[in-house]
Amino acid sequence: MAQLGERLRELRLRAGLSASEAGKRANVSRTMWADYEAGRRPNPTISTVAAMASALGVTLVELLEGVEVDTNL
């Protein structure tokens, strides 16, 4: 299973977006987007994940498909 950051990067590259452009679309900074991709910012809020999915042109289900879930929250 993939981590959320890996899935974000995969879908961003598939969409042909830079981290800066994806961040603008999701209303987060390029640095924040890159930190999520690199796993330096664990556990984003559901609203942030929804905004990221929208920025990538996918549904939440498509974004989270195959993502490992941390059940120790």
Backbone angles phi, psi at 67, to 5 degrees: -85, 135
Domain boundaries, the chain: 4-64
**67: three-class secondary structure by DSSP:** strand
Q: For the chain, first and last CA: distance in Å?
A: 18
Residue recorded with tokens 């987007």: 33
pLDDT tens track for 50-70: 999 999 999 999 999 877 766
**Lowest mean pLDDT, pick from 29-33, 41-45, 52-56, 57-61:** 41-45
Tell me, which fold does domain 4-64 have in CATH? Answer: 434 Repressor (Amino-terminal Domain) (1.10.260)
